[in-house]
Structure formats: C-alpha cells, structure tokens
Structure 1
C-alpha cells in the first residue's frame, strides 16, 4: 500500500511517519514537506514543495502522489495561530489537497482512496452555534469537516473521508503538563497514530471518529 503523509514535521505527523515506516503492510510513503526530513528509508519519498504548491499542485507533486491508496492529513494550525493563516492552512490547503488527490476512477470495484483527516474534538460543524471560546477557529475547523464530507459525498464511488477528532494529544512520555491535560478527553500521540493507520486499512464505514473510539482503535 502506498500512502501520502501531509504534516510529517509536526508533533503528530512525526509519529505517524515513524509508524508508517515500521508497518510492513505499507510499501511506500510519500511525505509532502517544505523541507528535507533528514530520514533515509527505502520506503520513503520526500516531496519538497513551496507554500504556493499547497494551493496549486505542480506536475512533479502529482507524479509523486500518483497511484497512492490513502492520505494521512496531519497538516494544520493550532488555535493560537493568526486566524487568516490558520484558515489558509487548515481550510484552503486541505480542500485543495483533497481535490488534487481524489481519483477519477477506481482500481477495482471495492477500492476507494481513503483520506484520513486530523481535526479536533472542539471543531464545530454548526456554523450558527455560539461558542464561549475560540469561536472563529472552531467554526473554521468545522467548516473544513463540512466541506470535505460534502466532497466525499459527491465522489463516493472513488473516495472515502474519515475525520479524526481527538481531545488533547499527549506525548508518549507523561509530563506534569500532560497529567493535567489527561484529566480532559485526551489521547497519547502514539495511540492516535496507530488509530489513523488502522483506518487506512479498514474504515468500516466510519466518517467521524471521536476521542474514545480513537483510543480503542489505537490500543
């Protein structure tokens, strides 16, 4: 199986990449990145891109991701980011990427390209709902979910979208900070990565996977 990984230099993306490279059922990984990852592995192809390439995929990038079976999308911005930058990365980059990767034909009658999108438990899909914290950011993340699910519905013969909605993402080694965060809905980064990869192979019709199910899948 060939997978595309977006956001390989981030906290979650680094763990996903490590587990993909160790997974014997994954034969090739294309990591799309603005910089070299300094990792040598026979399964890994690093496709170096500029910021503009996330909004208009050049032929070289399309060639690298051609014939992929799935994409693990870990690219995003956190709530502390400036909202216009967050919108560009979380919404514009994601929608452009999904559109570029959506196949026009299937490999066989049971095959669909699987797009595993890392969202967050606080994302709000109801754009009219009043929120008491981070409203603009949470509505924007919900807008991403609405948009990619709508795109999947329009391309249901060739595409499946699965949205991951973890709570706080904790490090593998517990710190004092993570102990406090762990009192709220949370998941360790290695468990989240395992759950994302598990869904590449078998989504079983899931479209949205919340924190508790992520922990079960990755356990």
Structure 2
C-alpha cells in the first residue's frame, strides 16, 4: 500500500494526477491507501459535493485528506506528523513566470521545491513500521514537475523559467547525493511540454474558467489545436490523461533507480531528468527503467 503526497492539485498537472487517482478501482496495484493533498486552499473542485460533470468517481478506497498550508518555505512538526510514513510526493506546485515577479517565481519554483524535498525526505523512514518492512528500502521518492525548456546550461537569452527549472533540477539531484539525504531521497524531474486538457474537460474547462481571461482561453485553445494534431511532433504534446497516469505510475512503482539514457533522457541528468519524448513513450508502456 502507498501513501502519496500531492501538491498543485488545483492546477492542470496536479488535477490530472488527482483525476487519475479518482479513476482507480480497488483492484489496482499497488493500492494507494492514502492521498495527502497539500494546498493553500482547502477547496478542491474535483473533491467537492458537486464536482464538475465528468469527474471520475470510481475510487472509493483511497483516503483523501486535504491539508491547508500557507507557507511552503516551512513544514512544522504537526504537519509532518500528518504526513508520517508517506512513500512519495508528486510536486506539481508551480506558477507562470508571467504571473509573478522574478523574485517570486524563483522562490516558488526553486526554493519551495527544495524546502519540501528536504522536509519530506525522512517521512518514509519515520513510519511506525521499520524501513526494512517496506519494499524497496527507505528512500522517499520525490517527483518534481519541471517542463520542456528547462536547461542545466542557460544562455543569456534563456527565459527565466528554463533557467530556474533547470537550476531546481540540478539542485534536487545534488541534494539526493548529499548526506543525510543520500540515504533518504530518490528524486526525478519530469519535463512535460504543452499540457493539453482537452480530453479531460472537467479539468480543462474548470481551470481555464477560474485562472484565465476570456482572451487567454481563446488563445490557449487555438494554440493547442495544431500541437494536438502533431504539427510540431509528438514530443511537444502532453495530454493530461496520459500525463496524470504516468506520474502516478512513477510515484507508486517499485523502481527507484534511474531511467535508461536515450530518447528523452540525457546522460547529464543521470537518468533522473525525463523529457516529454520519454513521457510519451511511458504513456505507451515503453522505456520505463534500466
């Protein structure tokens, strides 16, 4: 059984993860027995008494707890106690670089992510059961949702998001090799491209309506059409139904080692940074692990 942590559940990627979990029958393995959602808001539309039409409701076995948390720089003992024994986290919290100042963007993208990885690293080890009784050792799996365009080698013209996300990926990898985290933490950075919720209108329409203007909604839907049709290649398209499923399968899967270097996984990231080309392969059941 798996206890999973999720952030960013009101955003497009995080809600796709939640939607997939809500679609899982009790026969799915391994069983996600608990989902802890950490959010600034205690109101998650897809968990409300009247969710958007189409929201999956198959899952009746996972205990879902929404934990309201305002300061993502700090994790007090009472919060960590609620998360005690968790096995993995999908960190989908994020913001557009166009919506906040440069300083805020760096803080939300890099600083919040590293603070969480450090705070969560010992949760699995702190379970009441001994680490040996849990499969695959005691490492906590931390999956950071980055994005295509992230780079470890920014140029003067590299946009802020590419520079900051790349720095965050590098810092996570470095953290996972530094004692005491080297014995506690297994990290992955995932780089989706153009995230498309068209096939899950209960997510897409809700988020566009709440977070975008009428012009932005029109612009995004217009821009997404040629990407969805494959005019720019499959690796540029990240449908939410596939992305949510792959992220969950990564989080609950047994493997904690790196991905094989190849399409969508470069050598420099040591198999821990997964591009959208590999994500699409994973969506087809290909290219999982070494």
- In 1, the alpha carbon distance for the partners of 2:177 and 2:75 equals 23
Correspondence for 2:34 = 28
Q: Secondary structure at the residue paired with 2:282?
A: helix
Is residue 79 from structure 1 mapped to residue 79 from structure 2 by the alignment? no
Cα pair distance change 1:130/1:205, threshold 3 Å: closer
- In 2, the alpha carbon distance for the partners of 1:144 and 1:204 equals 20
Correspondence for 2:141 = 114
Is residue 217 from structure 1 mapped to residue 282 from structure 2 by the alignment? yes
- In 2, the alpha carbon distance for the partners of 1:164 and 1:77 equals 16
Aligned-residue RMSD, C-alpha = 2.1
Structure 1: 5+ residue stretches without partners: none
Alpha carbons 1:21, 1:43 under 8 Å: kept: no
Is residue 193 from structure 1 mapped to residue 244 from structure 2 by the alignment? yes
Alpha carbons 1:83, 1:137 under 8 Å: kept: no
- In 2, the alpha carbon distance for the partners of 1:198 and 1:131 equals 37
Correspondence for 2:186 = 160
Alpha carbons 2:169, 2:273 under 8 Å: kept: no
The offset of 1:216, in angstroms, is 1.7
Structure 2: 5+ residue stretches without partners: 49-59, 201-220, 260-271, 285-290
Is residue 132 from structure 1 mapped to residue 157 from structure 2 by the alignment? yes
Cα pair distance change 1:143/1:133, threshold 3 Å: closer
- In 1, the alpha carbon distance for the partners of 2:257 and 2:23 equals 24
Cα pair distance change 1:93/1:132, threshold 3 Å: same
Alpha carbons 2:38, 2:67 under 8 Å: kept: yes
How many residues end up aligned between the 2 structures? 214
- In 2, the alpha carbon distance for the partners of 1:27 and 1:217 equals 24
TM-score (normalizing by structure 1): 0.88
